[in-house]
Structure 1
Amino acid sequence: MHHTTPLITTIVGGLVLAFLLGMLANRLRISPLVGYLLAGVLAGPFTPGFVADTNLAPELAELGVILLMFGVGLHFSLKDLMAVKSIAIPGAVAQIAVATLLGMGLSWAMGWSWMTGLVFGLCLSTASTVVLLRALEERQLIDSQRGQIAIGWLIVEDLVMVLTLVLLPAIAGMLEQGNASPTLLVWDLLLTIGKVAAFMVLMMVVGRRVVPWILAKSAATGSRELFTLSVLALALGIAFGAVEFFDVSFALGAFFAGMVLNESELSHRAAHDTLPLRDAFAVLFFVSVGMLFDPMILVEQPLAVLGALAIIVLGKSIAAWLLVSLLGHSRRTALTISVSLAQIGEFAFILAGLGISLGMLSDEGRNLVLAAAILSIMLNPILFTLLERYLDKTETMEEQTLEEAIEEEKQIPVDICNHAVIVGYGRVGSLLGQQLLEADVPLVVVENSRPRVEALREQGIKAVLGNAARIDTMDLARLDCARWLLLTIPNGYEAGEIVTAARAKRPDIEIIARAHYDDEVTYIMERGANRVVMGEREIANSMLNVLQEEIAQNPIVRECPI
C-alpha cells in the first residue's frame, strides 16, 4: 500500500542526490557545495524527474542554520564579540549600504520602482551564515582573528536584517495608506531594538546561569542520549523562543544560546555531539537553495543575472576590503573577509519572500536574487582557492609568519627547548598535561580555542593559539627543538595532516597520536607517527593487565564447588 511521506521523501531524496553529486564534485576537484546545490536543482520543480517538497526543505534547512549557529556560539565568547565591534559594526553597516545602493542602481536601469530597488538591494547585501561558516571551518579560521571579525560582521548583518524584516511591513502599510507616518516608523524601530536588547540581556544574565546548569545536570545522569537531547532541546528551544517572543531570527537566537554556554567545559562535548546533525542539515540547506532555482533565468535575462552577481562578488568584496584596510588591518585579513562575504544566502531568500508577499518585489526580482545566490555560493569556494594561491605566490614565508603573528595577538615563539608539544587540551590533553607538569617535563600547548589558550596562560602554562597543521604555528611552539609531539585531538584524519607537516619539518621527533578506529591508526602511522594510541584497545589492555595480576595472586580453580 502506498503511503504519502513527503518528509521522508524530501530527506532521503535530498541527501542521496547530495551524496552522489557531492562525491562527483569531489572527484572533479571542486567544492562538494556545488554538488549539493546541483542536487537541489535536480530535486526542484523546474527540472524533470524526482521533485521534493519545496515547503518542507527550507524548514529542514533552517534546523541546520540553528544548529550551526549554536555550534559557532559555543566557540565564540562575548569578549570576542566586543573585541571586534569597532570593525564589525561600522564595516557591516557601510557594506550593507553600499550593496543596497548598487542594487537600487541596477533596478533603476531595469525600470523598477525605487521601493522595489530597495528590497532588491537589501537582498544582495547580506552574506549566508552557512556558506561563510563552512568556508571558515574548512580552513580552520573560526578561532583566528580573521574568523572572529567575519563572524562578528555576520552577527551585525543579521541584526540589521532583523530590523529590516520588522520595518518593511510598516513601510509597505504606510505606502498603501498613502499617509507616511515617520513617528510610527521610529516607534517600530525602537520597539524592535528594545526586543533584541531584552533578549540579549536575558541570555547574558539568566541564560548564562540556567543553560550551563541544565547541561551539567543532564551530563551528571551519565546518559549520553539525555545529554545530546538536552543540547538539541536548548538550541532549538531558545532559537524558537527568540523568534516567538522577541522577533529575533532563529540564527541569532541559537548563536546567543551557544555563546552563554561557551564558558563551560561542556561546550566542547556539546559541539562534538551535535556535529553530525549540523553537517546533515547544512547539506539540506544547500539542497533547499538549489530547489528554488529556475535555470531558465540564465537564458532569459543573462545580463541582469551578471549584474546582480557582480554586485555580490565585486561590489560587496571591494567595499569590505576597503573598509577593513582603512581600519588598519593586514592585507590578508582584508582579503579573507572580503572573499568570505562575496555571497548571499538565507536572509536574501527570506527578504525576497517577504517582498513578494507585501507587493514590494516582483517574481522577476526574486528569480534574479535566487540566481545570483546560487552562482555566488558556487563561486565562493573557487574565490577562496584563488585567494590562497595568490597569497602563497605574493607573500614570503617571513611575511606570512609575521602577519599570522600579528593576527594572533602578536604571539612570539616560546623560549624553551627539549619540551613536549601537546596539540589539543581537552579532556585527554589536560590529563596528560597535568601529569607531565607533575613530572617536571617542559610543556607547550597548541590550541585553536582562544578561551582555553587564555586560561592556560593565566595558569602559567605556555600556550600557542592557532592551527597545528600550519608550520608558522608550530614554529611559535618551537617544534624545531621539541622532544615530543603529542596529538590528543579526537579527529584522527586531522591528526594525520599535523603528523605529515611536523614530520616534514622534524624527521627525528617522537610523535605519539590518539585515534578511535583501526583505519585512523593506519592512516596516522602511514604519515609518520611513531605510535598511535587507540582508546578502546588501551582500555582492553588495561583490563587484561588487571585480570592477570588478579589471577597471579589468586589462581583459577577449575573444579566447580559442589
Structure 2
Amino acid sequence: MELLLQLAIILVASKIAGDISVRLGQPSVLGKLLIGILLGPAVLGIITETTTLEQISQIGVILLMFIAGLETDLNEFKRSGKAATYVGLNGIIVPLLVGYGTGIVMNMSTVESLFLGLLLSATSVSISVQALKELNKMQSKEGSTILGAAVIDDVVVIIALAFLMSMAGGDVNLSMVIVKKVLFFGGAFFVAWKVVPWFLKRFVSLKVTETVITAALIICFLFAYAAEITGVAAIIGAYIAGIAISLTDYKNEVFEKVETIGFSIFIPVFFTSIGVKASFDGIGQHLGFMVILSIIAILTKLVGAAIGAKMARFSWNSSLAIGAAMVSRGEVALILATIGLETKLITQELFSILVVVVLVTTIVTPPMMKYFFKKGENQKLIKNQLRKQA
C-alpha cells in the first residue's frame, strides 16, 4: 500500500514541479529532477528508493527512448551519420583525456584515472530526449545527430570499459564483448527489417482488444532485453524498436497510445527517481573536488561534442546545443560507476563523489540545451529580418 501512496505523491509533485519550471522559462524535466531531490532521502525523505520504484523507473526510461525512436526521421538519421560519428567520438576523446589527467593529478592510480576518464566519456540522452521534445527539435538535424552520437558513445565506452577491466585483471573476454555487440546490432536490424512488420500484422489480427499497442510493447521490451543481455544499454534496444515500428503503418496509433501510457505514470517516475537517488552524505569533506569534477564533466563533454558538431559544419550555436545535449551522464554513468565499484576499479569514496557529479550533469543539461537552441533561433530571426530590410 505504501507504493500506491509514493506513486501518487510522485505524480502530483512531478507535474506541479514541471509546470513551475515551464513558467520560469525552463524545460519541465528540470523541475521533475529537482523535485526528486526534494522528496528523496537527501532532503525531506518522503520518497525512498525501493526495488519496485526502480523497476517502474526502468520501464519509464525504456518507454521514453521507444517514443524517441517512433519520432525519429530515419532519412534524416541516415544523413546525420557522419555528424553523429564526429560528435560521438569527440565527445569521448576529450572527457577521456581530461578525466585521466585529472585522476593522475589527484594521485589516483592509473586504473582509477582511466576509469574516471571513461565514466566522464559516457552519455545518456534520456534527459535530452525530453528536452528535445519540449523544444520541438526531435526531428531536426540536431536531434538526429544527438541520438546517433549517443548510440556510438554507448558502444565505444562499453567496449573500452571491457578492455580496461581485462587489463585490470577482471574476468572479461574482450573479443566476446565485441562479438555480442555485433550480434545484437546485426540481429536487431534484421529483425526490425523482416520480423517486426510480419509480427505486427499477425498479432493485430487476434480477436482481442488493443492488439496494436500490445504488439508494440512486446517488441519494445524484447529489443530492450536483448540489448541488456548483450551489454548494450536497454535504452538503445528500445530506441531501435521505436525506429522499426515507425516504418510501419501502425506508427501513429502506437505513438499516441505509448505516449499516453508513458507520460501518465512511468516516465514521471523515472525523472523523479533520478533525484531520489541523490545522497549528500560526506559531501562537505570532498566539496572542492566535486565542484571541480562537475565543471570538468560539463565542459569536456560540451566542448568535445561541440567541436565534433562544428567539424560536421553545424553553426556554433547548434554545435553548442548538441554539445549541451550530450552533457548528461544519467543512468548510463550510474551503471558504469556501479560496475566500477563492484569490480574494485574505484573506491566507495570515489563512487559517492561520482554519483553527485552525475546528478549535477543531469540537472544542468535541460537549461543549457534551451539556452543554446533559443539563442540560435533568435540569431536566425535577426538575420532574416536584416535580409528583409536589405
TM-score (norm 2): 0.88
Q: Which residue of 2 aligns with 1:35?
A: 31
* Superposition deviation, residue 81 in structure 1: 4.1
SS of 1:261's partner is: helix
- For 2:250, the aligned partner's letter is L
Note the alpha carbon deviations across 1:504-548, whole angstroms, 9 max, x for none. Answer: xxxxxxxxxxxxxxxxxxxxxxxxxxxxxxxxxxxxxxxxxxxxx
CA distance 1:401–1:379, change in 2 (3 Å)? farther
Contact 1:7 1:53 in 2 (8 A): no
Distance 1:27 1:396 in 2: 23
1:152 Cα deviation after fit = 0.7
Equivalent residue letter for 2:81: K
1:44 is aligned to 2:28 = no
5 Å-filtered alignment, 1:247-262, equals: 247-262=231-246
**Structure 2 counterpart of 1:365:** 350
Residue number among 104, 111, 115 corresponding to 2:111 in the alignment = 115
Task: Summarize the alignment of residues 372-451 of structure 1 with structure 2, pairs less than 5 Å apart.
Answer: 372-392=357-377, 394-398=379-383
Match of 1:507 in 2: none
Matched, 1:159 2:155: yes
The structure 1 residue matched to 2:139, chosen from 140, 143, 157, is 143
Residue 333 of structure 1: aligned partner = 318
**Mapped partners of 1:258, 1:299: distance in 2:** 44
Give distance in 1, aligned partners of 2:70 and 2:377: 32
1 CA distance for matches of 2:182 and 2:33?
A: 36
Q: Which residue, 184, 187, 201 being the options, matches 1:199?
A: 184
Deviations 1:88-141, CA, capped at 9 Å, x for gaps: 224312321210222222223332222112222222222222111111111111
Between Structure 1 and Structure 2, the one with more strand by share is: 1
Indicate whether 1:313 and 2:298 are aligned: yes
AA in 1 matched with 2:107 = G
For residues 388 and 66 of structure 1, do their structure 2 counterparts lie closer, same or farther at Cα, with a shift above 3 Å needed? closer
Local SS of the residue matching 1:301: helix
1:14 matched to which residue of 2?
A: 10
Q: CA deviation at 1:153?
A: 0.6
Instruction: Supply the RMSD in Å over aligned alpha carbons.
Output: 2.9
Note closer, same or farther for the CA distance 1:242–1:315 as it changes in structure 2 (3 Å cut). Answer: closer
User: Number of matched residues?
Assistant: 387
- 1:288 is the counterpart of 2:273: yes
Instruction: Flag the 1:351–1:140 CA change in 2: closer, same or farther, 3 A.
Output: same
Instruction: Provide closer, same or farther for how the CA distance between residues 308 and 399 of structure 1 changes in structure 2, counting only shifts above 3 A.
Output: farther
SS at match of 1:346: helix
Q: Does 1:104 align with 2:100?
A: yes
Paired with 2:232 and 2:106, the residues of 1 have a C-alpha distance of 34
For residue 248 of structure 2, what is the amino acid of its counterpart? S
Q: Which has the greater radius of gyration? A: 1
Q: Report the Cα distance in structure 2 between the residues aligned to 1:44 and 1:310, rounded to whole angstroms.
A: 24
Offset, 1:85: 2.4
CA 1:69 to 1:384, structure 2 compared with 1: closer, same or farther past 3 Å? Answer: closer
Query: Residues of 2 paired with 1:68 and 1:385: CA distance?
Result: 19
Match among 289, 299, 302 for residue 304 of structure 1: 289
How far did 1:242 drift? 3.0
Q: 1:55 to 1:361 in 2, by over 3 A?
A: farther
Alignment partners' CA distance in 1, 2:12 and 2:347: 34
- The residue type paired with residue 102 of structure 2 is L
Alignment partners' CA distance in 1, 2:294 and 2:385:
31
Q: Which letter maps to 1:333? A: S
Amino acid at match of 2:121: S
Which residue number in structure 2 is paired with residue 344 of structure 1? Answer: 329
Is the 8 Å Cα contact of residues 14 and 52 (structure 1) preserved in structure 2?
no
How far 1:362 sits from its partner (Å)? 2.0
TM-score (norm 1): 0.63
Deviation at 1:264, TM superposition (A): 0.8
Q: Distance in 2 between matches of 1:142 and 1:104?
A: 33
Deviations 1:474-533 (A, max 9, x none): xxxxxxxxxxxxxxxxxxxxxxxxxxxxxxxxxxxxxxxxxxxxxxxxxxxxxxxxxxxx
8 A Cα contact 2:317 2:373, kept in partner: no
Contact 2:88–2:308 under 8 Å retained in 1: no
The percentage of counterpart residues that share the same residue type is 24
Q: Name the CA distance, whole Å, in 2 between partners of 1:99 and 1:400.
A: 39
Q: Secondary structure at the match of 2:210?
A: helix
1:132 aligns with 2:128: yes
Q: Secondary structure at the match of 1:294?
A: coil
5+ long unaligned stretches in structure 1: 175-183, 403-562
What amino acid does structure 2 have at the position aligned with 1:225? Answer: E
Instruction: Give distance in 2, aligned partners of 1:401 and 1:85.
Output: 33
